Amino acid sequence: MSINIRAVQQGFVGEVTAINLCAPITQAQADAIEKGMDDYAVLTFPGQPMTDEQQVAFTRNFGQLEITLAGQMAKPGERRFQQLELGDISNYANGDTSRHYAREDKKRLYALANRLWHSDASFRAVGAGYTLLHARVVPSKGADTQFADMRAAYDALSAADKAEVENLVCEHSIVFSRQAIGFDDYNPGFDEHLKPVPHKLVITHPKTGRKSLYLSSHIGGIVGWPVPEARAFIRDLTEHATQPQFVYSHKWQVGDLVMWDNRTVMHRATRFDDLKEVRDLRRTSLKGIGLEVKLPQAEAVAA
Ligand code: OGA
Ligand code: MN
C-alpha cells in the first residue's frame, strides 16, 4: 500500500498516514518517505507507538546513525540509554524516571540551549541530516517544537543579499550556542568537541539542488570577518529566516514521530514547566550527506 502525505504547510510540512512504523517498512515505502522529505522538509507521523528498537530500525532505512554529544558527554552510569544512537530528550534526572532535573542541574542548563534556533550537530565537521523525535510523554501545555524553512528564507532574500551570503563560511561550535545562554560548565576531556568547525552559509541540497541558509545558534563567526560584525549579521539573517511565514509549530501528541532535514530547516524547543511536568522524547539522527566542506579555510579554522 502506498503511503499518504497531506500538506500541513505547502512545500514545508507534510503529515504521513497509511504506514505502520512499528513494523519493518518496504524499500518502496522508504523511498516514498525520502521523496516526501525532499518535497517537504518536515514530516509528521501521528499515532506511532514505537519502541526504541523500532525507532532505531526505522531510522536506519535512511542512512548512518549519529551519536549525540550530550550522550557522549554523560558518564556511563548517568546515561539513560546505553545505546549512544538514542538521544534522551527528557527532563528525567540522569535517566531516573522517578525524578526531574533540579533547577540548577548542569545537564538541564546545557539542554536549555535547544530553545535557540539551531540545526542539529552543525558543530560537527559533518552536521546531521535527518533528525527523528518520538514523543512518549508530553506535558499538559507548552513544549511545542518549532521549525523554520531555510529554503524559503533563502529564496526570499534580495539578489544583493544572496550575492553577499553566497560564498561565506561560518564557524560553528557548541560553545557559541551555550555562550548565548551563559552556560560554560563543561566536563573536562571534551575540548576536541568544542573547537569551531567551518560550514558554508549557503548550502545546496544534494538531491533537490535547492539552496538554503545553513544557520544555527552554534555559529560564532564568519571566516575573515570581525566577530562582532559576523554575529550582528548572523542575528539579522536569523531574524529574517524565522519570521512567522517561514515557521511551523508542532504541538506534540503521545505517539507522534516527527522527522526533519537539518540541511533545510532550523528548529527550536519551546518552554514548559519542566520542574513540575514530564516531557519524554527519544531522538535519533543521521549524518548529513552533502554537508562536507572541503575549503582552504578549514585548516585556518582548525588551527
Ligand atoms: C533536539 C531538539 C527540540 C525539542 O532534540 O535536537 O532540538 O522540542 N529538540 O525538544
Ligand atoms: Mn535540536
Which of 80, 85, 88, 89 to mutate to test ligand 1, by most ligand atoms within 8 A of the CB atom? 89
| Region 106-117 average pLDDT | 96
How many A from CA of 141 to the centre of ligand 1?
Answer: 16
Q: Name the pLDDT band for 301 (thresholds 50, 70, 90).
A: very low
Q: What are phi and psi of 43, to 5 degrees?
A: -120, 135
Confidence of residue 292 (pLDDT cuts 50, 70, 90): low
CA of residue 87 to ligand 1 center, whole Å? 10
With CA atoms as reference, report the closest residue to 9 among 143, 146, 117. Answer: 146
On the question of pLDDT at 297 being above 90, the answer is no
Residue type, 77: G
In the three-class reduction of DSSP (H, G, I as helix; E, B as strand; rest coil), residue 24 is classed as coil
Residues 152-163, mean pLDDT to the nearest whole number: 98
Neighbours of 200 (CB within 10 A): 16
Cell output for 290: 552533502
Sequence-separated (6 or more) residues with CB below 8 Å from residue 277? 139, 140
The response to whether residue 257 sits with its C-beta less than 6 Å from ligand 1 reads: no
Task: State pLDDT tens for residues 173-201.
Answer: 999 999 999 999 998 888 989 999 999 99
Flag whether pLDDT at 28 surpasses 60: yes
Amino acid 161: pLDDT: 98
The predicted model gives 60-72 an average pLDDT of: 89
Query: What percent of the chain is modeled with pLDDT above 90?
Result: 84
Mean pLDDT of the chain: 93
> Cα dist. 118→7, 65, 95, 166 in Å?
24, 19, 24, 20
Cα 297 to chain centroid, rounded: 25
Average pLDDT over residues 69-87: 85
User: Position 73: which residue type?
Assistant: M
Expressed in angstroms and rounded, the spacing between residue 71 Cα and the centre of ligand 2 is 14
SS3 letters across 39-91: HCCEEEECCCCCCHHHHHHHHHCCCCECCCHHHHHCCHHHCCCCCCCCEEEEC
54 lines ligand 1 (CB under 6 A): no
> Residue 303 above 80 pLDDT?
no
Positive or negative CA dihedral for 197, 249, 106, 232? positive
Determine the average pLDDT of the residues in 198-220. 95
pLDDT over 60 (residue 242): yes
From CA 72, how far away is CA 70, in angstroms rounded? 5
Distance 166 CA to ligand 2 centre (A): 25
Q: Is the pLDDT of residue 49 over 90?
A: yes
Predicted confidence band at 83 (pLDDT cuts at 50, 70, 90)?
confident
pLDDT at 65 over 90: yes
Measured CA to CA, the distance from residue 291 to residue 226 in angstroms comes to 25
Ligand 1, atom 6, lies closest to the CA of: 120
C-alpha–C-alpha distance, residues 175 and 187, integer Å? 13
Q: Cβ(250) to ligand 1 under 6 A?
A: no
Q: Which ligand is nearest to the CA of 274?
A: 1
How confident is the model at residue 188, as a pLDDT? Answer: 87
Answer whether 241 contacts ligand 1 (Cβ < 6 A): no
Ligand 1 centre to CA of 285 (Å) is 11
Is residue 295 pLDDT above 70, yes or no?
no
With the most atoms of ligand 1 within 8 angstroms of its CB, the residue from 268, 270, 282 to mutate is: 268
Residue 155 has pLDDT above 90, yes or no: yes
